[in-house]
Structure formats: C-alpha cells, structure tokens
Structure 1
C-alpha cells in the first residue's frame, strides 16, 4: 500500500562533538513521520561523499550546514513530494540524479543522506514496524556482539600513537547483557591499570576512550590484557584495531609511523602479523593507506590470524569493495552508510559483501547521535558483530541500550554466535 510523501523539511542541529549537522523530517499524507540526520567522522576517507559545509568563519568556525539545509528545502523536497515513501531506490536515485556528481558535492552528501534515512524511517512507520524488523522482513533472531573502543591513539603532548583505536570484543559472552557488562567492566578496570602504569589518571581522548599511554601498541595491548585478566574474562575477550593509517601516512616517502619511527608497508605488515600471533584479534581495520592497493593484498596474504577490514579504504562504496575483493585484499568492510550517501548504495555494498562471503561491520561515526540508524541496520541485517565506540558518552551508551532493548522486545532473540568468523 502506497504512502505518499507530503513534506520534506530540513534544519541544522549539532552532533556529539557540537559540530553542525543536517536533520530532516519526512511526513507522509497519511501522517507517518521519519527523521534522519548525517553524522560525520574524524577519520574521513578521501573517497567519501561530500559533507557540504558553509565555510563561514563567523559561524561554528566554518562548519555550519545552512547550504545543505537549504538544498533539502528548496530542491530535494519539491522533487520528492508525491513519491511513494516505500520506494527507497527510486527516492535515492532521484536525489543522486538531481545532484549529478559522483561525490554528491552539489546538494551535499549530508543533505541527501539525511533525506534517505528519513524516508527509510517513514516507510517503516507506515508498515507499523520497528525499522530493524522492516529491514529484516520480520522479527529479528539475533543481535550482534558489540565492540568497545577503549584506548585512542593520536598526537598527544608527550607521545604519538599512530594506531587510532584499540578495541575489545567480548566474543565469549553468552548474552547481550553479559557482553555489555564485560565491555564496561574491562573499560573501567583499564583506568586503574593505566593509572598504575603511568602514575596518573588517563585523560579522556577525543573519541571518549583513554588517551594512549604509550607509543608502543604492544605495551597498550599488554595493559588491556591485564585489565581483562583482572576482571576474570581471560580467553573470552578479543582485540581489534582501527589503525586509520592514512592519518599517519607520508605520501612523499611512502612510509608509516610506528613506535616513533618511519617504516615502510612491509615492516608495518610484519609487525602487525607479530601482534596477531601474540594476541587474539577479531579484526584489523585500515592497516594501510586508503590508496595503497598494492600492499593490501600482501597484508591479506601474510596476516592470516585475523580479519583484514577496510573502512577509509572502502568507504562503503560498492565499486571500491568489488575492486578490493577481486584483488583478494580484505575479508570485509566497515558499513557506514553516510560515507556513500544513500541507504540504497549502502545496502548495495552490503549485498555485494554477502554474495562474496565478506564481512560487513556496521559502525557509527565519531560525531555520533542518539538514535543512529546504523543500529537499525546492524540488528536488521543480522550481522555478527559491530563497532560501538567507547562505553562513555550518551550517543555511544544509546547503542548498547539499543541492542539490549531489541533482544528483549523480540522473543527468542539471542546474541549472535561469531565463533565461525574468528580466525584465532
């Protein structure tokens, strides 16, 4: 049964880092409403769709999004009014055509994506279903295992840790409630362990984990292992990295930063392989520069005890995912719909991954929001595990609560068993 779009309206709000973002309401003629907004990341791939900002230094240091808001209200809204809200593909293709650029730079990927989400939510409302059940085509059977970003790399006053995120994943939990508790307990115990190691309480990093206490990734992994052991979770929690290596890559001499020195891709691959043989890693994300197409197949061939994953490398783009698969460069990708700009394109990348036995790992963005659609996708697509962020800050806690709530509201729903996905 059709539900016709009556109005599309955008406004400017702010994300969890107080950066302006686009929010859109879509209302149908029979009274159903969907709302969507476009969070942005800190580690942003060069091939991501355009986040259109005003560049007015007198407002939010140039980050305001009034142009993108106006593009929704003046150009996108008139084009979509009268369309069937359940025609997601048609709606997204209409906006892509209206923009006319691969990177969505005319209307703004943030404008298009916010509308895409809002229509998706309105369609689920019209179907009288939670969005995740609408995506799944019925009641969901599992919720994914969450992961927790506990230590954040980056440039600090006393050191630079090139690996962006040190992540733990309670793969040995029996229930979602236990998985959440294991992650939180370990995160809280880690504060004590780091304080003992450095002699001072760790500072809160930009992504809400603890600031890296060492330039040496192995030292940090040992500290996290100590916290895991103290909590009694030995053998039930694995590791993951988001290296975000493009952030520390020098294109002039083709080197990466590691433990205070510049190394080549071969050295970085060898070192990472060593870490995966000492510690149990579920996945390693963005080990190399996002355009290092030559080295990724080498890393995938050499590092066999974990899953090699692309984020900035793939940017949820079906074409880049296809190229990486044909080069045998990875085991899967991070699913971030706003990178590619529409729900239709994001699901196309997901479907390609499923057809080719690749992992799709939904993830929020650094500039997150409460009610992020990525959680509906994570549960509705019935994936094995996801990236949640640090167990601190409301929009990240909201993602954990979403999983526990979804399990409770769907009789028979359980925590996904990811043992077949582990390589250690």
Structure 2
C-alpha cells in the first residue's frame, strides 16, 4: 500500500506569476503528496539548476515544460513501484538518474518537486502531519518569525546594496503576539517612510517597502522609529540579509555600500559599528559566496550577532563542512530547493546540529502556499525562521501555519530566542 503508483508533473505559477513545476505523487493505497519548486530573487551560483525552456514565446522564456516532461517521462517510470517511506532511496534514484553535480540534466526544480511530493505522500501514509513525520524530537516550541519589511535594490534614484532588513519580535510571549507585532510595525513603517521622504512608501519586488535610502544606517533608523512608535522597543530586534554576492566585483574585490565601493574589511567594520548601534539577531550573507576569508573574519569580528551563510552554503553538506573547518559561519539558511532534495537538506541540517550551528529555514521570494519549509521549521524545532513581509497570500499563510500549529499542539510555547541572542 506504500508503493508509488503514479508521479505526475504540471506547470503552474509562483507568487510572482512565473512558471514553476508542481508534482503529485500517489501511492497504491491512494495516499497523495504534492510538491512545488519556488525560486529566489537572490540565487547563489552553487544552487541546484533551475531548468527553464528559454522560449521567448512563452512567459519570456521562463517556462518549465522541459522540467515537467523530465518528471513525467524519466523520473516517474523510475520511481513507480518504489516504497514511498524510503525518502533517501527515492532521492538517490533521482540524483543518479540526473548524473550531474548540480542536477542540470533533469532540472533541480523537477527533482526537488518530486522529493517534496514524496515526503508529503509518506507522511499521509502514516496519518500524521508532515512536521510530525520529520520530527527529530518532541515538539515543544513554535519558531519565532522574522519579517522582511524593507527590501534593497534600486528604487528610483536610490540603490540600497543590502537586500533585506528584517524585524524579529524575539521577546513576544506567544506566536499570536509575535505575528501581531510584525503586522503592526509593518503597517506603521509606511507612515514613517512617508513622513521621512515626503512621498509614498513604494512596494518592492519582495513585497516589503523599497528602501528609501542608500545608507543602511538610515534605513535602520527608520525601522527603529516605526518599532518605537508602536511601543515595541523592548520586544523587537533586527536582522539583515546583505546578499553581498549581488554587488561584489571580483576584479576589484570590492562591494557596494552607500554609494561607494568598499573592501571586505571595510564592509565588516561598517557592519560591526551597525551592530553596536542596533540589536541584530543575525546577519546573513555579509560577504560574497566565494569570500571565505571574509566570512571567517566576520565571525571573529562581529561578536554581537550571529553570522549566517546562505549563498555561501546553499544548504549543501559539502559547503557546510568547509564552513565548519574554516569557522566561516555560526549557522546557515535552510532552503531545501537550493540543494535539490529533502534528503540532502536534512543531511545538512544534521551536520550543522552536530557542530552546534544554527539552521534557519526560509522560503524564497517566488514562493508557494503550503511551503515545506514551514514543516521543516516546526518539525526540526528551530528557534526562529525567515519570513517575508505580511502582505501577500503565501506569506500570510506561513504565519497562519504557525498560529494553527500552536493551537493544535497545545503543549508548545514560542521558542526562546533570547537564550541565543548575542547582544
């Protein structure tokens, strides 16, 4: 009853109306699982390959019909008859079918969608929620959400190099309070931006507000003003995703910062000063994905925050192993589609946990409703996760997931981020 009867893929749309792969897996016992492959705004060069059609006549070349066909004609026949409960064997079969280091033959988006669908079908076969199916221990906490409320990039004449400015209600007492704080501060933030700039608060590509200044310190002052205006100064801390690979120039070995080009050491020094002004729970991707020496220096220098790697690690156990050897991070961003299978993502999590490093689950900017990262966040009992701005449907659903889980699992409490914060 747990053998795979069918695997079927189709092309659907992500939250940005871009094509993506969706897969349904059905067992002989009629248990079903569905999985889809979101994509990010900032994509690391070492992530598993997103196979697109490059046909300008359909969705500006972003179609994924080749990946869909690879599921239906190559992966499906190979997995039919296999046991849905053996996630490792299923993922290994797809990796072997592909045969490339980055899943470029069949498409990481094809393989990942099948991997997620298999996990969900396996959970359905046990009659348990996915988060209980993958749980490594008793479920006692719900992770604290962090909210990506201001987005970097180009906004008119302003270019903000840092990609995401986040707030984290780390001293909230319940998940309901944490969500309410995020929503209230986000609402107030638009008024603060309008007051400071004299113009409307523009919506950015990731649905937060567009950064109104090229200076990260000025953006932080605006965030702090919104937090203070809501009366949450004692309950809210901050976080950054610098996504510095996006602005790094390999020839000059410099980064963009507030309209200037700066060295790795100058960027670290600027950020260190920023952490002494504001309380940051974490700072992600402060350096380029190949700047291993810079990451190691950041871990040594920035003592009041947690240094996380995203593009540096890409949820890959081999990259994490190097980071452990070089003491390059305090943790990593857990995005399972980066490595391409649930098995590999969990192996990276296990390696991090064994070395006392944090794993921080995160969705992607081109997200989906019912994202598997939410089950990972709860099932793996992480202390906090990354969330988008409380604006669009799939981002609101992630918050509803946490509140729903807290209601269903009455013995849970909000995770204690204060215990691991370094400020």
Query: Structure 1-normalised TM-score?
Result: 0.99
Distance 1:33 1:259 in 2: 50
Q: CA deviation at 1:259?
A: 0.8
Distance 1:411 1:138, change over 3 A: farther
Q: Contact between 2:136 and 2:380, CA under 8 Å: does it hold in 1?
A: no
Matched with 2:195 is: 196
Quote the offset at 1:140 in angstroms: 2.2
1:61 CA drift (Å): 0.5
SS of equivalent residue, structure 2 residue 311: coil
Match of 1:291 in 2: 290
What do the CA deviations read for 1:96-127 (whole angstroms, capped 9, x no partner)?
Answer: 00000110000000000000000000000000
Specify whether residues 129 and 390 from structure 1 end up closer, same or farther in structure 2 by C-alpha distance, changes over 3 A only.
same
| Mean CA deviation greater in 168-177 or 130-139 | 130-139
**Offset from partner CA, 1:357-416 (integer Å, 9 cap, x none):** 000000000000100001010011110000011111000000000000001011211111
Aligned residue number for residue 27 of structure 2: 28
Single out whichever of 316-325 and 138-147 deviates more from structure 2. Answer: 138-147
Q: Is the CA contact 2:37–2:109 (under 8 Å) kept in the aligned structure 1?
A: yes
Distance 1:55 1:222 in 2: 43
1:133 corresponds to:
132
Aligned to 1:181: 180
The answer on whether the counterparts of 2:84 and 2:122 sit within 8 Å (CA) in structure 1 is yes
Q: CA deviation at 1:39?
A: 0.2
Q: Do structure 1's residue 368 and structure 2's residue 367 form an aligned pair?
A: yes
Shift in Å, 1:269 = 0.3
Residues 1:144 and 2:143 are matched in the alignment: yes
CA RMSD of aligned residues (A): 0.8
Q: Is residue 89–residue 344 contact of structure 1 (8 Å, CA) maintained in 2?
A: yes
Q: 2:324 — aligned with what?
A: 325
Corresponding residue for 2:304? 305
- 1 CA distance for matches of 2:384 and 2:136? 20
Correspondence for 2:314: 315
Contact kept, 8 Å, 1:203 with 1:211, in 2: the verdict is: yes
Structure 1 residues 138 and 27 mapped into 2: Cα distance closer, same or farther (>3 Å)? Answer: farther
Superposed, 1:164-313 pairs within 5 Å as: 164-313=163-312
Kept in 2: contact 1:132–1:140 (CA 8 A) = no
TM-score between the two structures when normalised by the length of structure 2: 0.99
Instruction: Count residues in correspondence.
Output: 423
Alignment check: 8 A CA contact 2:3 2:80 kept: yes
In structure 1, the residue matched to 2:38 is 39
- Structure 1 CA distance for aligned equivalents of residues 158 and 409 of structure 2: 47
Moved more, 67-76 or 409-418: 409-418
8 Å Cα contact 2:49/2:109 also seen in 1: yes
Displacement of 1:135: 1.1
Q: In structure 1, what is the Cα distance between the partners aligned to 2:280 and 2:62?
A: 37
Report the counterpart of residue 10 of structure 2 in structure 1: 11
Paired position in structure 2 for 1:106: 105
C-alpha displacement of 1:295: 1.1
User: Could you say which residue in structure 2 is the equivalent of 1:92?
Assistant: 91
- Does the CA-based 8 Å contact 2:155-2:212 persist in structure 1? no
Moved more, 57-66 or 129-138: 129-138
SS in structure 1 of the partner of residue 346 of structure 2: helix
Evaluate the alpha carbon distance shift between residue 376 and residue 408 of structure 1 in structure 2; reply closer, same or farther with a 3 A threshold: same
Q: In the aligned structure 2, how far is the partner of 1:14 from the partner of 1:139?
A: 36
Structure 2 CA distance for aligned equivalents of residues 258 and 35 of structure 1: 42
1:150–1:167 CA contact under 8 A, matched in 2: yes
For 2:171 and 2:101, locate their aligned partners in 1 and report how far apart those are by CA, in whole Å.
Answer: 42
**Does the Cα contact within 8 Å between 1:314 and 1:333 map onto a contact in 2?**
yes
Corresponding residue for residue 118 of structure 1: 117
Deviation at 1:156, TM superposition (A): 2.1
- Secondary structure of 1:114's counterpart equals helix
Contact 1:166 1:239 in 2 (8 A): yes
| 1:162 paired residue number | 161
TM-superposed deviation, 1:138: 7.2
Counterparts of 1:353 and 1:337, CA distance in 2 = 14
What residue ranges of structure 1 are gaps of 5+ in the alignment? none
Structure 2 residue matching 1:204: 3-state secondary structure: coil
SS in structure 1 at match of 2:10 = strand
| Change in 2 beyond 3 A, CA 1:280/1:250 | same
- Unpaired runs of 5+ in structure 2? none
2:60 corresponding residue in structure 1: 61
